[in-house]
Amino acid sequence: MKVGILGAGNIAGVFASMLQHLDEVQRCCVASRSLEKAEAFAAQYGFEKAYGSYEEMLSEGEAELIYIATPHSHHYRHMKLCIEAGKHVLCEKAFTVNAGQAQEIFSLAEKKGVLVTEAIWTRYMPSRKIINDLLSEGVIGEVKTLTANLDYAISDKERLIRPELAGGALLDVGIYPLNFALMHFGSSIVKTTSAVQLTETGVDGQNVMTLSYEDGRLAVLTSGMYGYSDRRGVFYGSKGFMAVDNINDPLEIRIYNDKQELSKIISMPEQINGYEYEILETIECIKKGAKECPSMPHEDTLEVLRFMDGFRHEWGVQYPEEIERI
């Protein structure tokens, strides 16, 4: 399938480096606001054509599927451009700034008959099923509690502190602990609570989110952009506990017994860099004529965004484009 990339930043480079290993993909074109940057990107990763305009790539390029790797604040308008041009879309997380924008995108995609899906890679990885199977098998007994964290020292990055770029820890890294809980504990949530520390610019610098489930289970999630956390997801069971090393790209699972002794280590399957799962599933779904991916259905994207909208509302965090729409 002919694949194009909209945006030529760091994450686009990671994605493109993976595409070089896939026979299913023809690296068709890449676009940046800077033609020089696009040409350098195309040369480095073997793309056939470079454009200095997103609109030009979409009108002239032959790509069937566009991977969008621009800042969160731009996803909504860039997806609209792609969909109006009749392109299928794989868009980086966070899919949009809020649930309202996402619903508009899904409605437009349905009207135009194209597939649109969110590129949150952990949803597509084999580790998701491996973890859920272990929980179902009862390897650590009855599980009532989950904790997950993801923090990086990234507060010096402009896109993370500027409200006009939909900055803050939640949309960039907090989305991973939230997805981790929803993937493995489900969404039968009856109550949420949270705490936050805001930056001087008014976005969230670090946060704590608690999800209370109707059956008594509890998920405690933290994220931030001031330091480095261990990135672990831990399930606490009646017969021991299970720790997932790096919820952002699981490497291995460690199972401990009720004496807190390590009883088993499960390594994840070898991969190119982890991004291959989302693109391969997207291509397969397009070939089948599907309009969404089973690993990240539209309703799941909306669910995550609704939770994040709710937390931001509690914290008083609004982005300029949201205020302008009021």
The alpha carbons of the chain give a radius of gyration, in whole angstroms, of 20
**Separation CA 82–CA 231 (nearest Å):** 34
Return the structure tokens found at 62. 């032959």
Q: For the residues 56-85, what does the mean pLDDT come to?
A: 96
Instruction: Give dist(CA 288, CA 66) in Å, integer.
Output: 18
Is the pLDDT at 326 greater than 60, yes or no?
no
Model pLDDT for residues 246-292, shown as the tens digit of each residue: 999 999 999 999 999 999 999 999 999 999 999 999 999 999 999 99
Question: Which DSSP string corresponds to 43-90?
Answer: HHHT-SEEES-HHHHHHH---SEEEE-S-HHHHHHHHHHHHHTT-EEE
Asked if 221 contacts 185 with a C-beta cutoff of 8 angstroms, the reply is no
* Sequential DSSP letters for 186-218: -S-EEEEEEEEEE-TTSSEEEEEEEEEETTS-E
Residues in the chain: 326
5: which 2 tokens? 């990339």
Q: 251 is written with which tokens?
A: 């490497």
Distance CA 106, CA 274 (A): 26
Q: Which CATH number among 3.30.1330.40, 3.30.420.40, 3.40.50.720, 3.30.70.260 corresponds to the domain 2-121+275-294?
A: 3.40.50.720
Q: Which of 190, 189, 149, 192 is nearest to 173 (CA)?
A: 149
Q: Is the peptide bond before 94 cis (omega within 30 degrees of 0)?
A: yes
- pLDDT tens sequence across 21-37: 999 999 999 999 999 99
Those residues with Cβ within 8 angstroms of residue 220's Cβ, 6 or more apart along the chain or in another chain: 145, 146, 147, 148, 208, 209, 210
Range(s) of the chain covered by CATH 3.40.50.720: 2-121+275-294
pLDDT one-digit tens code per residue, 123-142 = 999 999 999 999 999 999 99
For CATH 3.30.360.10, the residue range(s) in the chain are: 126-270
Domain 126-270: homologous superfamily in CATH: Dihydrodipicolinate Reductase; domain 2 (3.30.360.10)
